[in-house]
A and B are shown apart, each in its own frame.
Chain A
Amino acid sequence: MKRVALLGAATTCAAALGLCGSEPLVRDAHAGPSTFSFVQVVEKEWTLTPSRPSVRAGSVSIELVNFGMDNHNLVVKSTKPGAKPVTFNQLDPRGRGERTLKLTPGRYQLWCSIAGHRAKGMHATLLVTK
């Protein structure tokens, strides 16, 4: 028996309150349509899954979805030496967050930096291609 009617009501409410998402999807003054890509990262205990293994270099909308029962965040960092990490705000369960990053070609590490979460498996790699 799966009855999520009540969750449905709750998430609708949460969405209306902005916890589930909103428009516009991205706010980005720099990129035109041609260089733009999207990737969605779904997190739960204890997985972190990007919607695609690779994206094209340029402006990339990275959307974090907390599909779990705990709070999670996301750190995106190039594997190049000296690269600075970008950290997304921590999200409550069912929360969503989005950041638009300018990504150059290369390999990027994605992980949840809440204590212990990365070690439990919440990390992945994103390839940025030319």
Chain B
Amino acid sequence: MACCDEHSRSDLLRQSLAEAGRGLPAIEAGMPVPAGTGLDRRAFLARGIGLALAIYGGSALRPQVFDEGIAAAAAANPNQKVLVSVFLDGGADALSLLAPTGDPLYRQLRPRLGLADGAGTAFTEDPTLMWHPALTPLAELHGEGKVSVMPAIGYDHPNQSHFTSRHFWEVGAADERLATGWLGRYLDRVGSRDNPLQGLSLDWSLQPSLATAKMPVATLDAPDRYDFWARGVWGEVSDRMIDAIARLGALPTHGDPGLEAASDAAAQSAQLYDQLTPFRPKGDRKAIVSPVAYPQGNEPFPRRLAGLAAMLSAGLPLRVVALSAPGGYDTHDNQAQDLADGLELTAASLLAFQRDLEARGLADRVLVHVWTEFGRRAKENGSGGTDHGAAGTGFLIGSRSAGTMVGEFPGLGKLDGDGNLRATADFRGLYAALLEGWLGTDADAIIPGARKFARPTILR
């Protein structure tokens, strides 16, 4: 028996997708002159103080309607507050993120998985807690007063299905049938019909929290990878082709909803392509230049955050952004290693993002909300891991964050009937506070039954 070959499917798929999007190099062998020259017809135009907007200029090839929508959206409120939602997929272990090393029951419940005293930074607001060593970057920001910690956030009657609990968080209600996301409903209320960037999923597919009923939203892997390449098309023909997509999408639809959906998708895609032009690598030009160093490697998360900071810096009119953190948090086994790996990259990337925003003078405009669908069982299982639990950990990161705890750590002596951490803060109250305090809108119109939930202090 001999092994012929082995390969990683993930590498191949990444490669295929990259090829599908990235296309051929700008210069093809055998062409009389370099293709792709003289095409700098899109430019940054300064509009107002500190605002640089990627808009179309220099030719009358394509309809301006969406660009004007974008320009209007950006010009109307250049200081628009932005909320970034970061999801720890799988149910991150609250008792590791902030380990209750000072709780007498901790060693008993976590004989193998318990973190050693002093392994991580002490949590200054509650001496029984200690930051996971991989979260040192967040501890650093917490020390600067830029992280609000929710040590036990959740909801009553906790559901231990990943899918159901995640769904509750995404729709902003304990309602299995609600089809729009809580951020989607925010956009439906305050968004604009001609700005898909207002709700941006930095992912392969729509982040469900951004699902709207009527307003356009955008989904893209990364701002430097949104491209339209076609075999046997290059140079200025390729550029004109993108303009033609937009024009096809702008043709009259005579009120036909099917045609309208297909036209909108085409127009919005071409528009997004235009908006992202400055972020697409060309020749030797690096697509995104960051003032700080982000973690390197194959994981898209730091690259997406770097791209996001660049987009905000360029004045693109973003309101709400959603993406998933690297790592797998459903740690039924091998928790010690798996959890550390994911948290380390996540925290280092978030720190770089905050420093990036600070360097660009944008830090007062952006708040990052880190969440997970539930925490994990207090008692470790027999396979070096933990099973699904109830209350989990959340963070609000940003220069405007209050930097103080939301809800206290409930202690391990008061677990619920399933042996899980009880919630001391409700995610719907947090959402209401974010909507009202940060995004400036009426939470009652967006979160069902919002009145019932106390609004925590989250901003300074």
A9-21 interface bits toward B, Cβ cutoff 8 Å, 1 = contact, 0 = none: 1101101111101
- Which of A3, A4, A7, A18 sits near B13, CB closer than 8 Å? A18
Are the CB atoms of A6 and B204 closer together than 8 Å? no
Q: How far is the CA of A4 from the CA of B385 in the complex (A)?
A: 24
Q: How far is the CA of A86 from the CA of B176 in the complex (A)?
A: 45
Number of CB contacts from chain A to chain B under 8 A? 112
Are the CB atoms of A70 and B333 closer together than 8 Å? yes
The verdict on B3 contacting chain A, using a C-beta distance below 8 Å, is yes
Contacts of B163 in A (CB 8 A): 3-7
Are the CB atoms of B4 and A6 closer together than 8 Å? no
The verdict on B42 contacting chain A, using a C-beta distance below 8 Å, is no
CB distance from B393 to the nearest CB of A (A): 20
A77-103 interface bits toward B, Cβ cutoff 8 Å, 1 = contact, 0 = none: 010000110100100110011111111
CB distance from A73 to the nearest CB of B (A): 12
- Which of A13, A96, A102 sits near B2, CB closer than 8 Å? A102
- Which of B13, B205, B332 sits near A22, CB closer than 8 Å? B13
Are the CB atoms of B332 and A70 closer together than 8 Å? yes
Are the CB atoms of B204 and A16 closer together than 8 Å? yes
Contacts of A7 in B (CB 8 A): 162-163
Contacts of B170 in A (CB 8 A): 6
Question: In residues 299-324 of chain B, which contact A (Cβ within 8 Å)?
Answer: 300, 324
Q: How far is the CA of A27 from the CA of B4 in the complex (A)?
A: 9
Question: In residues 1-48 of chain B, which contact A (Cβ within 8 Å)?
Answer: 1-14, 16-17
Q: How far is the CA of A10 from the CA of B163 in the complex (A)?
A: 10
Are the CB atoms of B162 and A70 closer together than 8 Å? no
Contacts of A100 in B (CB 8 A): 3-5
Q: How far is the CA of A84 from the CA of B89 in the complex (A)?
A: 38
Are the CB atoms of A13 and B205 closer together than 8 Å? yes
| SS of A interface (majority) | loop
Contacts of B300 in A (CB 8 A): 17
The verdict on B356 contacting chain A, using a C-beta distance below 8 Å, is no
The verdict on B448 contacting chain A, using a C-beta distance below 8 Å, is no
The verdict on B206 contacting chain A, using a C-beta distance below 8 Å, is yes
Contacts of A15 in B (CB 8 A): 13
Contacts of A92 in B (CB 8 A): 328
| With known contacts A6-B166, A17-B13, A86-B3, A1–B176 Cβ distance under 8 A | yes
Of listed B10, B11, B204, B383, residue having the most chain A CB within 10 A = B10
Contacts of B238 in A (CB 8 A): none
Of listed A70, A78, A86, residue having the most chain B CB within 10 A = A70
Q: Which bucket holds chain B's interface residue count?
A: 35 or more
CB distance from A119 to the nearest CB of B (A): 13
B203-241 interface bits toward A, Cβ cutoff 8 Å, 1 = contact, 0 = none: 111111000000000000100000000000000000000
The verdict on B441 contacting chain A, using a C-beta distance below 8 Å, is no
Are the CB atoms of A18 and B14 closer together than 8 Å? yes
A56-87 interface bits toward B, Cβ cutoff 8 Å, 1 = contact, 0 = none: 00010000000001110000101000011010
Q: How far is the CA of A23 from the CA of B206 in the complex (A)?
A: 23
Contacts of A5 in B (CB 8 A): 163, 167, 208
The verdict on A33 contacting chain B, using a C-beta distance below 8 Å, is no
Contacts of B167 in A (CB 8 A): 3, 5-6
The verdict on B330 contacting chain A, using a C-beta distance below 8 Å, is yes
Contacts of B1 in A (CB 8 A): 76, 78, 83-84, 86, 101-104
Q: How far is the CA of A15 from the CA of B16 in the complex (A)?
A: 12
| With known contacts A3-B167, A5-B208, A18–B2 Cβ distance under 8 A | no
Contacts of A16 in B (CB 8 A): 13, 17, 204-205, 221
The verdict on A30 contacting chain B, using a C-beta distance below 8 Å, is yes
- Which of B7, B208, B334 sits near A6, CB closer than 8 Å? B208
Are the CB atoms of B6 and A99 closer together than 8 Å? yes
CB distance from B93 to the nearest CB of A (A): 15
Q: How far is the CA of A17 from the CA of B8 in the complex (A)?
A: 11
Are the CB atoms of B14 and A17 closer together than 8 Å? yes
Contacts of B404 in A (CB 8 A): none
Contacts of A1 in B (CB 8 A): 164, 176
Q: How far is the CA of A97 from the CA of B9 in the complex (A)?
A: 7
Are the CB atoms of B11 and A29 closer together than 8 Å? no
Contacts of B12 in A (CB 8 A): 18, 22-24
- Which of B9, B203, B383 sits near A96, CB closer than 8 Å? B9
CB distance from B401 to the nearest CB of A (A): 27
Contacts of A101 in B (CB 8 A): 1-4
- Which of A3, A21, A70, A78 sits near B9, CB closer than 8 Å? A21
CB distance from B241 to the nearest CB of A (A): 25
| With known contacts A3-B167, A101-B1, A101-B2, A18–B205 Cβ distance under 8 A | no
Are the CB atoms of B330 and A69 closer together than 8 Å? yes
CB distance from B196 to the nearest CB of A (A): 19
Question: Which residue from chain B places its CB closest to the CB of A76 in the assembled complex?
Answer: B1
CB distance from A84 to the nearest CB of B (A): 7
Are the CB atoms of A102 and B4 closer together than 8 Å? yes
Ranked nearest first, the 9 interchain pairs of A and B with the lowest CB-CB distance are: A18-B10, A22-B13, A16-B204, A22-B9, A18-B13, A22-B12, A6-B166, A100-B4, A6-B163
11 contacts between A and B (CB under 8 A): A3-B164, A6-B167, A6-B170, A17-B204, A21-B9, A86-B1, A89-B6, A92-B328, A93-B330, A101-B1, A104-B1
